A = this chain, B = another copy of it.
Amino acid sequence: MKQERWVYPFGKGHREHTSEDKQLLGGKGAGLATMSHIGLPVPPGFTVAVPACAHVLAHNGQWPAGLEKQVKKAVEQLESDSKLHFGDSENPLLVSVRSGAAVSMPGMLETVLNLGLNDTTVQGLISETHDSRFAWDCYRRFVQMYSTVVCGLSKEVFERRLTEARRSAGVTIDSELPASALQELCGAFQTEYRNLTGNVFPQDPWEQLHGAIDAVFRSWNAEKSVTYRRVERLVGLKGTAVNVQQMVFGNVDDNSGTGVCFTRDPSTGANEFYGELLINAQGEDVVAGIRTPLPLISLRDKMPEVYDQLLAVRAILETHYGEMQDLEFTVERGQLFILQCRSGKRTPTAAFRIAVEQATKPLITREDAKRLTKRKLLSAREAAAASKPVITREQAVRRIKAVDIERLFYPVISPQVSQAEFRERRLAKGINAVPGAAAGAVAFSAHEAERRAAKGEAVILVRPETSPEDVGGMQAAQGILTQIGGKTSHAAVVARGWGKCCIVGCTELEVDEHKRRMKLGGREFGEGDTITLDGSTGEIYAGALPLSRPEPPPQYQTIMQWVDEMRFLRVRANADTPEDARKAIEMGAEGIGLCRTEHMFFATHERQLAIQEMIVADDATQRGAALAKLLPYQREDFIGIFEAMAGRPVTIRLIDPPLHEFLPRTPEQVDRLAKASGRTPAQIERRSSQLHETNPMLGHRGCRLCLTYPEILDMQVRAIIEAAIACQRRGVEVLPEIMIPLTIDGRELQILVDRTRAVAEGVIRAARTKLKYLVGTMIETPRAAILADKLAESAEFFSFGTNDLTQLALGLSRDDAGRFLPEYLDQAQHAIFADDPFQSLDVAGVGALVSHACASGRNTRKKLKLGICGEHGGDPATVRFCHDVGLDYVSCSPYRVPIARLAAAQAALAERKKK
């Protein structure tokens, strides 16, 4: 049997191109391997690969066969590469032992530095560095680190000893301790070690190394690591790699130093070599923040050779990766070492600027290229690569993330607010339904929200949950906070449509609507008290924190132009009003994929009354009279939308929600309706209770309403067609698509399509004109998806209503799932779903229904138009699925349109790559 390979050396001519596979070597290990491969100066060492960690964790700490032998061989190689030796009293080999998972988990996993030091080798270090204080300090730190990290001893014991040492030396900080005090501490630490463990502190570097590697392995399953992965939803990681690397010291003289740099400015994205460093210092000193670092440019004067070397490294690395890099380097006695490289984090603004400039401009100037080549720091090939764009436009587009766009358009809490202030003001966390931040005075009713907003106050509407009647107050508020509901609850869906900050399902919140008070985070708030919502994280803070709103950089437009050139999938918006429609166009929508007519019914009291009168009508005649009142309102709204969309397709869904949603709730509203409809309040109440449903989601709604009350369909179709004709007469192009919701059967759809066409043709004939329009259906029940071939006989288009389709396929009410869906998403515990199926389409289940419906629908009608209009339409993974399954368009809330455009382009690029 071939021995499995666990260990991969790097540095000192190890140009063997092992792999850039982060799953194998971890992020740090892959970076070291790559830098080693492309000839950058990396301190030599080796990586113990991730599978070794996985094996050890799965086998109760036991190392796999061959690992020990491979590590020993790698150390021997390292000794010969470095001309240093483990345990040598003159030229001791010292190493760092660092974790490195495939995904960065800052501060979660363990590190041991200066490993190899013992009572003998410390002398070697002294003679080598001529700095006994330095050497004893290294040893002191190593003993302390090893005891706590590897052996799990309490940090306190060592801190106490340190404090004592400072006191007796009469100094206040560790760096002022003299060598003798540090030497004494080394002894004292080892005594503590013996007392606590019953063993002598290990002097054998081999034993030290074995222990340190095990400690890194173990740290993978430490509670904080597990929690971190759960919170960050890091799935599919098997463990960490361990990087063992020769120590280099930036603190041995003034020709040494250490620093961090970015190949471009991570804040603005400018093409400037950006970073900072400390002369005669170690990495820890940079982190500790005791000394103020110098800007990177100062290196040009202090160590011009090293600066040019770094410039070359910058050029080589960014051209190699085609990505802005974040580097750590150390200079030891004038010799440059790169310790780490990785893709650098950047602001959204920088993300766009970097992507566009990388795709259109050279990284370095012609002069720099010439100079560096002349100094043999760059090869001719490397210089040429750095003198032209480092990536293609396609790569630039692939590079942009949805969150980069998202963060461009939403206000955020000002970066000025300190972590301490955040901590102090934090009240609770809810579900982050709509990103962005909002601050303002609390209002507990829609009415109060409107009243305060009218006075110019910034308002946060706080409700147990919202209903269509709250829409006015929601509109008036800066942000919305609810106690109940998930990411697709009424509050979330409506707020998302407006791009308005919204936190839902905050179970800690206790609202007393009547007393107009709420309890949150152990504090009580009344109407007018201020709070701040961070809709991106779901955090709620006391008081009004300052907000800022980033400005999209010019490169945003460039990227979106490229995006639009690359994608095939069209992107529409869900929009119910002319204002929404205008916003949609502004965000780049190519049509409206879902216009919910019922939202119009709530716009004014008159409209509400008219729809309510329709519902309490005793017969078709009374119903007809009430509907006649609604007709002009609907027609007017449709005219506004058609005008805003100027010829782009507009999909209008006929009435969908169960009628009881429209009925009055408060006694005053009941009285008003009673008066308006000439009935007693008791009659109104009776009608309300008649309409009550056990499971309204599965009740008398959607096209079922049009089957039982065809007058509603007649009125709505008439309003749509009359509006379209009116626009056409004014020279505005129109393309209405009438959508019949919640169908379950081909015959059912046929009946309603026939009726729709009959009404439409009647209106068109009467107006003596011509009009192009489509009639189609929403696929939102599993049965509709299954029998799509039959539905396509009368439908000219399908639009997948994936919200309801998900609810039905999974038997999961989005309103009620808050109690148990978290268990399904909990990656550490059950890991049943990788993503919330209401956020990102459940491809295996719901996706199977969608793709079946697409195929069988198109089998019946080749030119069947296919789209999606659920909340999923703005989710990048779902957009990718929609592209793959061959939809014509996706439709989402206006604010997510740019994200969907980007995702559509990325899907097209991914497909191109596959081919």
**Is A823's CB under 8 angstroms from B708's CB?**
yes
Whether A694 sits at the interface, judged by CB under 8 Å, is yes
User: B residues within 8 A CB of A744?
Assistant: 810-812, 845
Given known pairs A747-B830, A832-B745, A845-B783, the reply for A811 and B804 (CB within 8 Å) is: yes
CB–CB B786/A849 < 8 A: yes
Residues of B within 8 A of A809 (CB): 781-783, 786, 808
In the assembled complex, the Cα of A830 lies from the Cα of B698 at a distance in Å of 21
**How far is it, in angstroms, between the C-alpha of A328 and the C-alpha of B780 when the chains are bound?**
56
**Candidates B786, B833, B848; contact of A745 at CB < 8 Å:** B833
| A751 CB within 8 Å of chain B | yes
A807 within 8 A of B: yes
Q: Which residues of the partner chain B approach A833 to less than 8 Å between Cβ atoms?
A: 745
Also in contact, A810 and B781, with CB within 8 A (given A700-B820, A820-B700): yes
Q: Does A819 contact B (CB under 8 A)?
A: yes
Q: Is A697 an interface residue (CB 8 A)?
A: yes
- Assembled-state Cα–Cα distance A804/B782 (Å): 13
As a 0/1 sequence over residues 677 to 710 of chain A, the CB contacts with chain B under 8 angstroms (1 = contact) are 0000000000000000111111110101001100
* B699 close to A782 (CB less than 8 A): no
- A255 on the B face (CB < 8 A): no
Contacting residues, chain B, for A782 (C-beta < 8 A): 782, 808-811, 845, 849
Is A547 interfacial (CB-CB < 8 Å)? no
How far, in whole Å, are A708 and B820 apart by their CA atoms in the complex? Answer: 7
Contact A813 B707, beta carbon cutoff 8 Å: no
CB distance from A463 to the nearest CB of B (A): 15
Shortest A526–chain B CB gap in Å is: 22
A744 CA to B782 CA, complexed, in Å: 14
Question: Is A781 within 8 A of B811, CB to CB?
Answer: yes
Shortest A303–chain B CB gap in Å is 56
Q: Known: A704-B820, A783-B842, A787-B844. Contact between A813 and B747, CB under 8 A?
A: no
Interface size on A, residues (CB 8 A): 49
CA A781 to CA B782, docked complex, whole Å: 10
User: In the complex, which residue of chain B has the Cβ closest to the Cβ of A819?
Assistant: B700
CA gap between A707 and B825 in the complex, in Å: 12
Chain B residues lying within 8 Å of A812, measured Cβ to Cβ, are 698, 744
Partner of A699, one of B804, B813, B823, B849: B813
Provide the A260-293 mask, 1 if CB < 8 A to any CB of B, else 0. 0000000000000000000000000000000000
CB distance from A686 to the nearest CB of B (A): 10
Cα–Cα distance between A824 and B702 once the two chains are bound (Å)? 14
A742 within 8 A of B: yes
Instruction: Check A30 for interface membership: any CB of B closer than 8 A.
Output: no
Q: A707-B830, A782-B782 are in contact. List 17 more A-B contacts (CB 8 A).
A: A695-B696, A697-B697, A698-B807, A699-B817, A700-B816, A745-B824, A745-B832, A747-B831, A780-B811, A781-B809, A782-B810, A783-B846, A786-B809, A787-B845, A787-B848, A804-B811, A808-B808
Q: List 25 A-B contacts (CB under 8 A).
A: A693-B815, A695-B695, A695-B815, A696-B816, A698-B812, A698-B816, A700-B819, A700-B820, A702-B811, A707-B820, A707-B823, A745-B824, A747-B830, A747-B831, A751-B832, A780-B811, A781-B809, A781-B810, A781-B811, A782-B808, A782-B809, A783-B809, A787-B848, A804-B811, A808-B808
